[in-house]
Amino acid sequence: MALHRPPKPLLLVAAATGALLTGLLTGTGAAQAATSQACDIYAAGGTPCVAAHSTTRALYGSYTGSLYQVRRASDNATANIAPLSAGGVANAAAQDSFCAGTSCVITVIYDQSGRGNNLTQAPPGGFNGPAAGGYDNLANATAAPVTVGGHKAYGVFVAPGTGYRNNNTNGIATGDQPEGMYAIFDGTHYNGGCCFDYGNAERNSRDNGNGTMEAIYFGNIKVWGYGTGNGPWIMADLENGLFSGVNAGYNANDPSISHRFLTAVIKGEPNHWSIRGGNAQSGSLSTFYNGARPNVSGYNPMKKEGAIILGIGGDNSVGAAGTFYEGVMTSGYPSDATENSVQASVVAAGYSTSGSGTPGPAVGSTISLRATTACCTTRYISHSGATVSTQVVSSSSSATAKANASWIVRAGLGNGSCVSFESKNTAGSYLRHQNYQLYLHANDGSSLFAQDATFCPQAGQNGQGNSFMSNNYSSRYIRHYNNNVYIASNGGSNAFDSSTSYADDVSWVVTAPWTP
Ligand code: AHR
Ligand code: AHR
């Protein structure tokens, strides 16, 4: 695949001489440095980034190259998205205008380190992904809106089946070589599938045995390791094991941690590794493990292979969910002090959810959802028992018809950044999809139900109201078709995926409830 390689950042050149680098960082040299960003801090600490990935912002103060590439569905054209200024936040407006009236996926997450370690659609490995040829899905480019320093930006939304990888890297640690990693995730978006990872993995996308990976893991799968509480936890994926400390299974010092913006750190060197974490919006990092390699054979010495994965396990296990905003891998074992400075710079960058787009309906409110297609502007999402359809509702409708079209907005059962819709007149029952059709079912407490009943509000695709993305099928949105209600993709293989009037059919106006 031909990839555009972004220009080398100035500081990589500067890093060749320590004196020049020091001059840049202190502003005493000929060139006045921009704000010192994460990779400038790692370089100053003697552990430079060898991969730096972010769809939200530059991770070097001087970086002006492309951050990521999007591809739009209407004509398969691609566009690169760069920072607004050197060292700045992504130009999300450029994405919005390129993707207007169609949908976009993230095709490339460029490596800002200058080493060309870009992440692209992950190929099949020990497991196949759901896309053509066994590849993994690409992320919906508008699924994870945030602001950074007041500027709109988009993260990488990993629904199960989504994955990025680079099996042909340059400069990433192999064998028992030291490395460090940090990543910023949405701490409210996770699941118990294997494995939402960012970091070092096998170059052949297969399970090559204990110690052939070293990646940050985030989620609540308990198959291999876990900490206190019910999760989610930051753990190290070292292959055939997610480790929360020195022991396989339980380690008491690894807490459940779910900040909306979460800083997660894993680093490793010969017979030594560490787990750290904190709130990416405030405060400092805590250390949850710092000690010897696990007391299980195969992890000392390590046999790292140096590929890079995002959103999947080393063998291309594709069951996991999560959201990634930025992350880096270093050469050398970073000091805690260096990481603490990186954390301070992340906090200063100012991640936030406010102002990130058209707000969805307020959690706790009761609403109705009106169709916007010209045929159907008096129709609302309604249920009759388990059956869900759009129905004409008016002030003269029966009390039952009104209540059937009224919904209580709940925090998303499967993703705290999204919402679920509980029936006004059938407490404990929620809109959920099954075989891509919407039903009203009682919450059975399962992880699948939680995922199927969670929808992420975005701006309406026809410019009216909201569109609601399925949390676990992120190319699909709530859509009416022949007055039935589905999760539909634009131009997919089902009749209800028809491109005709798609943008109108997936756009819903949130109204006052027929039954308050
Ligand atoms: O170590 C946990 C997972 O086990 C790895 O990510 C995957 O390669 C294997 O299935
Ligand atoms: O609606 C698509 C899938 O169909 C749902 O996730 C699952 O409940 C059913 O198998």
- pLDDT digit string, tens, across residues 490-511: 999 999 999 999 999 999 999 9
Q: Which of 186, 197, 237, 239 is catalytic?
A: 239
Question: Do the Cβ atoms of 305 and 203 come closer than 8 Å?
Answer: yes
Residue-wise pLDDT tens digits, 186-198: 999 999 999 999 9
Ligand 1: which atom is nearest the Cα of residue 206?
A: 8
pLDDT value at position 356? 75
Supply angle C-alpha 333, 336, 340, rounded to 5: 125
Residue 237 among the catalytic residues: no
Give strand pairing partners of 455.
419, 470
Residue 170 CB neighbour total at 10 angstroms: 14
Alpha carbon of 282 to ligand 1 centroid (Å): 32
pLDDT value at position 34? 64
Residue 269 among the catalytic residues: no
Amino acid letter at 344? A
pLDDT value at position 101? 84
pLDDT value at position 354? 85
CA atoms 223, 227, 231, 237: torsion sign: negative
Across all residues in the chain, what is the average pLDDT? 93
Alpha carbon of 432 to ligand 2 centroid (Å): 9
Helix (H) or strand (E) holding 451: helix 447-452
Residue-wise pLDDT tens digits, 272-312: 999 999 999 999 999 999 999 999 999 999 999 999 999 99
Q: Is the pLDDT of residue 271 over 70?
A: yes
Q: Which of 111, 197, 202, 315 is catalytic?
A: 315
Instruction: Name which of 19-33, 359-373, 427-441 the model is least confident about.
Output: 19-33
Distance from the Cα of residue 171 to its chain's centroid? 25
397-404 mean pLDDT: 98
Helix, coil or strand: residue 338: helix
C-alpha–C-alpha distance, residues 129 and 283, integer Å: 38
Q: Is the pLDDT of residue 262 over 60?
A: yes
The confidence band for 358, taking pLDDT boundaries of 50, 70 and 90, is low
Alpha carbon of 206 to ligand 1 centroid (Å): 9
Counting ligand 1 atoms within 8 A of each CB, the residue from 158, 195, 204, 218 with the most, and so the one to mutate, is 195
Alpha carbon of 388 to ligand 2 centroid (Å): 15
The confidence band for 102, taking pLDDT boundaries of 50, 70 and 90, is confident
Residue-wise pLDDT tens digits, 38-89: 999 999 999 999 999 999 999 999 999 999 999 999 999 999 999 999 999 9
Q: Is the pLDDT of residue 4 over 70?
A: no
Q: Is the pLDDT of residue 9 over 90?
A: no
The confidence band for 431, taking pLDDT boundaries of 50, 70 and 90, is very high
Give strand pairing partners of 268.
179, 273
Q: Whose CA is nearest to atom 8 of ligand 2?
A: 434
CA atoms 86, 92, 98, 99: torsion sign: positive
Give the ligand with the smallest distance to the CA of 439: 2
The confidence band for 3, taking pLDDT boundaries of 50, 70 and 90, is very low
Q: Whose CA is nearest to atom 4 of ligand 2?
A: 435
C-alpha–C-alpha distance, residues 496 and 485, integer Å: 9
Q: Whose CA is nearest to atom 5 of ligand 2?
A: 434
C-alpha–C-alpha distance, residues 483 and 481, integer Å: 5
Residue-wise pLDDT tens digits, 109-153: 999 999 999 999 999 999 999 999 999 999 999 999 999 999 999
pLDDT value at position 397? 98
Alpha carbon of 194 to ligand 1 centroid (Å): 7
Q: Is the pLDDT of residue 26 over 50?
A: no
CA-wise closest residue to 407 among 437, 438, 435, 436: 438
